[in-house]
A = this chain, B = another copy of it.
Amino acid sequence: MTQNEILTVGSLAFDSIRTPAGRVDTALGGSGNYFSLCASFYSKIQLIGIVGGDFPKEHLSALQKRGVNTDGVQIIESGKTFHWAGEYDQNLNEAKTLTTHLNVFEHFDPKLNENQKKCSYLFLANIHPSLQLSVLKQVERPKLIACDTMNFWITGNLEELKKTLKEVDLLSINEGEAYLLSNKKSLLEAAESILKQGPKALIVKRGEYGAVLFTNKFVFMAPAFLVKSVIDPTGAGDSFAGALMGYLSKSGIDSGMEKTNPALWESTLRRAVLAGCAMASFAVEDFSINRLLTLTKPELKERESQILDMTQVK
């Protein structure tokens, strides 16, 4: 892998989604998909995942055109792609899962090639903690490892998840998950508890209210950009993580900087969170990955500067 390239392991999926704004069926989704698309605005990506014969090859080509290496996407021609169906009521911050068909994802067993094992940046999207652990065992020492998880694993696979948390530098989860994982009642206490479980940095995503970055040294709070109309919040968290990791990898940050260059570590993390907020705000503007496919670098730059303007004193 080239220097600063990101390796990510996550899902490629079909999503059927109903929101107050409308619905889509069998639209392109998946954490690895959203993540890669968004990170590709900053860095080169290698994506590891699995799809069935029903997954459009053209979409893999589209990812490749954006600098996402999809050689690690296994295609099971005889199988069906992971399919998630969910809906949102007026509270767009929380999805209700209607059905989950793991399909080929059920037998997903990510194997890294020699090149991928040397990755500089690793993002473990929201997959089974045992798969996250398996990837962690395969990589040599990346500059920075981040991961996501969800309620389902916190409730059902806590022991394995805890092993993952010990190995990652940065954990990115949503607010409800932070409370569930910590069993605390205030966000500050939740963060303190989670930071003791391993990560050097914790990012708590709060939907339309933005994100908070916690470390043992500082806290940084970023608002969500206000969009006129949220069409579909699906993938906003993965889009956030994609831009965040993209920004971090582009900067060349490594986790050792927390000690060797704390000022740079801190300022880079702060700006990466704002990059995440900017990207997430585009993801929600349309169903599926549609807005991300039309997004341009100038649009992204403009929104990043709008978010700076909305948050900084003068």
Which residues of chain A have a CB within 8 Å of any CB of chain B?
185-189, 206, 209-210, 212, 218-221, 223, 226-230, 263, 266-267, 270-271, 274, 308-314
B314 touches A226 (CB 8 A): no
Q: Tell me, in angstroms, the Cα distance from A210 to B210 when the chains sit together.
A: 11
Q: Tell me, in angstroms, the Cα distance from A221 to B153 when the chains sit together.
A: 33
Chain B residues with CB below 8 A from A185, complex form: 229
B218 touches A309 (CB 8 A): yes
Chain B residues with CB below 8 A from A187, complex form: 226
Q: Tell me, in angstroms, the Cα distance from A136 to B94 when the chains sit together.
A: 44
Also in contact, A313 and B223, with CB within 8 A (given A209-B206, A228-B189, A229-B185): no
Chain B residues with CB below 8 A from A186, complex form: 226-230
Q: Tell me, in angstroms, the Cα distance from A212 to B263 when the chains sit together.
A: 29
Main secondary structure on A side of the interface with B: mixed
Also in contact, A313 and B308, with CB within 8 A (given A209-B206, A229-B185): yes
Chain multiplicity (copies) = 2
A221 touches B308 (CB 8 A): no
Q: Tell me, in angstroms, the Cα distance from A270 to B221 when the chains sit together.
A: 16
The 3 closest A-B pairs by CB, nearest first: A221-B223, A209-B209, A267-B314
A271 touches B313 (CB 8 A): yes
Chain B residues with CB below 8 A from A266, complex form: 314
B311 touches A220 (CB 8 A): yes
A-B contact pairs, 23 of them (CB 8 A): A185-B229, A186-B226, A186-B228, A186-B229, A186-B230, A188-B227, A189-B228, A206-B209, A209-B209, A209-B210, A210-B221, A219-B310, A221-B310, A221-B311, A223-B223, A266-B314, A270-B313, A270-B314, A271-B313, A274-B313, A308-B313, A311-B311, A312-B313
Q: Tell me, in angstroms, the Cα distance from A227 to B219 when the chains sit together.
A: 12
Q: Report which residue of A187, A218, A313 has the largest number of chain B beta carbons within 10 angstroms of its beta carbon.
A: A313
Q: Pick the contact of A226 from B219, B227, B274, B308 — CB < 8 Å?
A: B219
Given contacts A223-B223, A312-B312, list 13 more A-B pairs with CB under 8 A.
A186-B230, A188-B226, A189-B228, A218-B310, A219-B226, A220-B310, A221-B310, A263-B314, A267-B314, A270-B313, A308-B313, A311-B311, A312-B313
A228 touches B188 (CB 8 A): yes
Chain B residues with CB below 8 A from A226, complex form: 186-188, 212, 219, 221
Chain B residues with CB below 8 A from A210, complex form: 209, 221, 223
